[in-house]
């Protein structure tokens, strides 16, 4: 059984994101980039399935600029067997990524596709769902546990107020939630080994996919700066402020 894992190169989660002064984009100059954290969880889950003997091959796929090769090398160092870069420029919209992944699925015929539940740069939470729709595959989003049982995929999802467990026919699409696993640290020997693993590059045109943007971003803005705090003398003064200044309590 082959697993395809989608990995996106994003601004590292520790970086404080800044907007360019003209509001046209996020400033990416000299910013540390890393694999999207939910995608690390996706790679970890795929590699664990391979280590458990359930899966025979893990293919990591990224859509982006040539710099995404670095992210794919990290996936290879974590244990993926092969990588594929769909070289498509810096910013590809979720629908275009879903179409590219669908085209890769048509070529590679994976039994399972694992994506992150969302990319922490655009927070779209769309790509997995769009891919499942385009490929007409069953989907389980926000997975917190996953196992393959007798040809079916059993996925536990975190939902409001509890857990939901689904059984899906394979092939299927899964998106990862935070508690699915804790990704391993990448060791130096595995980084060295990853350099020798295959990493292919194709273009959207090779896959017959039009990735022209469909959305226009009008403006980016940083959140309003937080005002300074004040110390109140007693509870009565606090309640007065909550009622009459913040207006979050009814009087």
Q: Which is nearer to ligand AMP, 34 or 118 (by Cβ)?
A: 118
36 binds ligand AMP (CB under 6 A): yes
Nearest in space to 118 (alpha carbons), one of 40, 64, 38: 38
Nearest in space to 82 (alpha carbons), one of 119, 50, 53: 50
- Among the listed ranges 76-84, 118-126, 165-173, 181-189, the one in contact with ligand AMP (CB under 6 A) is 118-126
- By CB under 6 A, the residues from 42 to 101 that bind ligand AMP are 42, 62-64, 92, 94, 97
Among 65, 69, 111, 126, binds ligand AMP (CB under 6 A): 126
HEC string for 141-180: EEEEEEEEECCEEEEEEEECCEEEEEEEECCEEEEECHHH
What DSSP character marks residue 183? P
Residues 6+ apart with CB under 8 A from 1: 54, 55, 56, 111, 112, 148, 170
- Among the listed ranges 14-22, 34-42, 74-82, 198-206, the one in contact with ligand AMP (CB under 6 A) is 34-42
Greatest Cα-to-Cα distance within the chain, rounded to the nearest angstrom: 69
CA 46 and chain centroid, separation: 14
Q: Which is nearer to ligand AMP, 91 or 242 (by Cβ)?
A: 91
Q: Which residue is nearest to ligand AMP (CB)?
A: 116
Q: Which is nearer to ligand AMP, 64 or 204 (by Cβ)?
A: 64
Instruction: Name the residues that contact ligand AMP, by CB under 6 A.
Output: 6-8, 36, 38-39, 42, 62-64, 92, 94, 97, 115-116, 118-119, 122, 124-128
């Amino acid at each position: 059984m082959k697993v395809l894992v989608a990995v996106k190169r994003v601004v590292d989660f520790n970086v404080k994101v800044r907007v360019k002064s003209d509001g046209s984009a996020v400033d990416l100059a000299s910013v540390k980039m890393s694999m999207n954290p939910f995608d690390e969880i996706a790679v970890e889950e795929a590699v664990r399935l391979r280590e458990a003997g359930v899966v025979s091959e893990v293919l990591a796929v990224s859509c982006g600029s040539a710099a995404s090769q670095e992210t794919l090398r990290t996936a290879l160092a974590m244990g993926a067997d092969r990588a594929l870069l769909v070289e498509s420029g810096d910013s590809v919209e979720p629908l275009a990524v879903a179409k590219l992944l669908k085209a890769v699925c048509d070529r590679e015929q994976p039994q399972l596709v694992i994506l992150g539940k969302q990319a922490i740069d655009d927070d779209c939470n769309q790509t997995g769902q769009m891919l499942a729709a385009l490929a007409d595959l069953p989907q389980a989003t926000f997975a917190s546990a996953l196992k393959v049982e007798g040809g079916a995929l059993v996925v536990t999802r975190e939902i409001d107020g509890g857990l939901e467990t689904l059984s899906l026919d394979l092939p299927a699409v899964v998106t990862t939630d935070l508690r699915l696993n804790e990704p391993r640290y990448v060791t130096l020997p595995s980084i060295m080994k990853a350099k020798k693993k295959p990493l292919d590059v194709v273009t959207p045109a090779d896959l017959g996919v039009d990735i022209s943007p469909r959305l226009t971003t009008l403006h980016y803005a940083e959140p309003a700066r937080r005002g300074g705090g004040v110390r109140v003398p007693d509870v009565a003064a606090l309640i007065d402020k909550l009622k009459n200044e913040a207006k979050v309590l009814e009087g």
